[in-house]
Amino acid sequence: MFRRTNTLLTIRYDTPPNRIEAFLEGIKKIIQTNPTTRKDQFDVYLNDFGPDGHNILLYFFVKVPGRAEEWLQRHRILLEIVRLAASLDIAFAFPTRTLEIDTMPGQSERPIYPDSANAELKRIAEEYGAGENAKPEGLGIFTAPNMQQASPDSESS
C-alpha cells in the first residue's frame, strides 16, 4: 500500500539561489533512489515565500505494509534531507522577528535606499525579463520531477 508524505521544509531567506536549486535536486535524488518511494509521482518545488523563509513543498509516496514501516521510511528520507542540507550549508528557518533601528541617539538618519537613476533601476528590472539575468528555467542544477522522462521501472498504484 502507498502512504503519502506531504510537508513543507522552510529554509532561511539568505540561502543563495544556486544552493536552493542544488538542494531541490538533491532531495529529488533522495526520493528517486529510496527503494520504497513511488518514482512516477512525487513533487519537490520551491513553493512559497513564508513568514520565516523559503517554503519547499515535499510530496511523495512510500510503498510499505503498515504505519510502523511508513514512519521508518519517512524518517530515513527526512534524515537524508537533513544531511544534504548540512553538506550544502543550508539552514532550516525558524520563527524569527527582525527589529530594525533606523537611527541611534546622536546619529543622523541615513537613506534606506541609495539614490539610483530611474533608468538604471529600469535596466536592472528588464534584465530579469528577457535580458542577460533572466533565468526562468533556473540555473540548470534542478530539473522538476514532472519534466523528466519516466523510467521503465516506475510503479503506479
Task: Give the model's confidence band at 157: pLDDT under 50 very low, under 70 low, under 90 confident, else very high.
Answer: very low
Residue 121 located in a structural domain: no
| CATH number assigned to the domain comprising residue 142 | 3.30.70.100
Residue 156 located in a structural domain: no
Domain residue limits at 33:
2-96+135-147
pLDDT digits (tens, 9 = 90+) for 69-80: 999 999 999 999
pLDDT digits (tens, 9 = 90+) for 6-65: 999 999 999 999 999 999 999 999 999 999 999 999 999 999 999 999 999 999 999 999
Structural domain count, the chain:
1
Residue 122 located in a structural domain: no
Residue 118 located in a structural domain: no
The dihedrals phi and psi of 22, each to the nearest 5 degrees, come to: -65, -40
Length of the chain counted residue by residue:
157
What residues contact 150, with CB distance under 8 A and at least 6 apart?
39, 40
Residue 15 burial (10 A CB sphere; 0-12, 13-18, 19+)? buried
Residue 114 located in a structural domain: no
Residue 154 located in a structural domain: no
Cell digits for 138? 533556473
